[in-house]
């Protein structure tokens, strides 16, 4: 349960900078938690919900428009990272390749990345590219937590069944991967997801 007396450890996040290339990222000495997922899966909405602001990360109705790594800073110096989405069919090959270099490079090289929130539309989980993200991430065996977003689009029973199926499937890959139902719209699962990120970043409310 959310209590107004409990402060949000992810409050007061502010836009820091965008990077189109790895070289444009800020020095990697501060802890970061990254949000990844298919275009339109609800990454920006999830980040906004966790931070408790409406428009921190831009929410787009046009899939695939966010092609940059967007970084947000918390007052303590830790950062939240909105990674560009993937899997949008109309993206040309050159763009696909630059996305590979940017996101793959970030996941493989970023030593201060403490954990990866992988956002999947609960109606279309575990795409081939979601699995590729998990593969890239496995290089450093970083914690992964899956948000099955837009749960409000399904009934409760169907959402629970979808979550169990994804859990079962992922536990074969790595039993440590967290999986939860999430909705930025109804705020279902916001507290649980926020607690995971706060733990990764050593934040206290």
Ligand X SMILES: Nc1nc2c(ncn2[C@@H]2O[C@H](COP(=O)(O)OP(=O)(O)OP(=O)(O)O)[C@@H](O)[C@H]2O)c(=O)[nH]1
Tokens 């990222």: give the residue.
25
Q: For ligand X, which residue of 8, 40, 70, 137 counts as binding (CB under 6 A)?
A: 40
Q: How far is it, in rounded angstroms, from Cα 174 to Cα 177?
A: 6
Q: Judge contact between 39 and 64, C-beta under 8 A.
A: yes
Q: Is 172 in the site for ligand X (CB under 6 A)?
A: no
Taking the complex as a whole, the smallest distance from the CB of residue 85 to ligand X amounts, in Å, to 2
Taking the complex as a whole, the smallest distance from the CB of residue 43 to Mg ion amounts, in Å, to 5
Of 5-13, 57-65, 72-80, 100-108, which part binds ligand X (CB under 6 A)? 57-65
Tokens 């501060």: give the residue.
30
Taking the complex as a whole, the smallest distance from the CB of residue 79 to Mg ion amounts, in Å, to 16
Q: Is 64 in the site for ligand X (CB under 6 A)?
A: yes
Q: Is 59 in the site for ligand X (CB under 6 A)?
A: yes
Q: Is 16 in the site for ligand X (CB under 6 A)?
A: no
Binding partner at 149 among Mg ion, ligand X, none, C-beta below 5 to 8 Å by kind: ligand X
Taking the complex as a whole, the smallest distance from the CB of residue 100 to ligand X amounts, in Å, to 15
Q: Judge contact between 142 and 32, C-beta under 8 A.
A: no
Residues contributing to the site for ligand X (CB under 6 A)? 37, 39-45, 59-61, 63-66, 85, 149-150, 152-153, 183-185
């Amino acid at each position: 349960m959310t209590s107004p007396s409990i402060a949000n450890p992810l409050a007061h996040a502010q836009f820091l900078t965008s990077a189109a290339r790895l070289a444009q990222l800020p020095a990697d000495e501060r802890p970061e938690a990254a949000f990844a997922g298919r275009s339109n899966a609800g990454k920006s909405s999830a980040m906004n919900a966790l931070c408790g602001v409406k428009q921190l990360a831009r929410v787009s109705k046009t899939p695939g428009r966010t092609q940059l790594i967007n970084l947000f800073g918390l007052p303590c110096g830790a950062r939240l990272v909105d990674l560009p989405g993937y899997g949008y069919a109309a993206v040309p090959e050159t763009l696909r390749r630059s996305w590979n270099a940017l996101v793959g490079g970030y996941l493989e090289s970023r030593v201060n990345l403490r954990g990866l929130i992988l956002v999947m539309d609960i109606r279309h989980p575990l795409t081939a590219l979601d699995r590729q993200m998990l593969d890239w991430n496995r290089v450093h065996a970083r914690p992964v937590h899956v948000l099955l977003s837009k749960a409000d689009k399904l009934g409760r029973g169907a959402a629970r069944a979808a979550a169990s199926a994804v859990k079962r499937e992922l536990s074969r890959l790595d039993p440590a991967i967290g999986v939860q139902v999430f909705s930025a719209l109804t705020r279902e699962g916001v507290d649980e997801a926020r607690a995971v990120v706060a733990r990764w970043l050593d934040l206290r409310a």
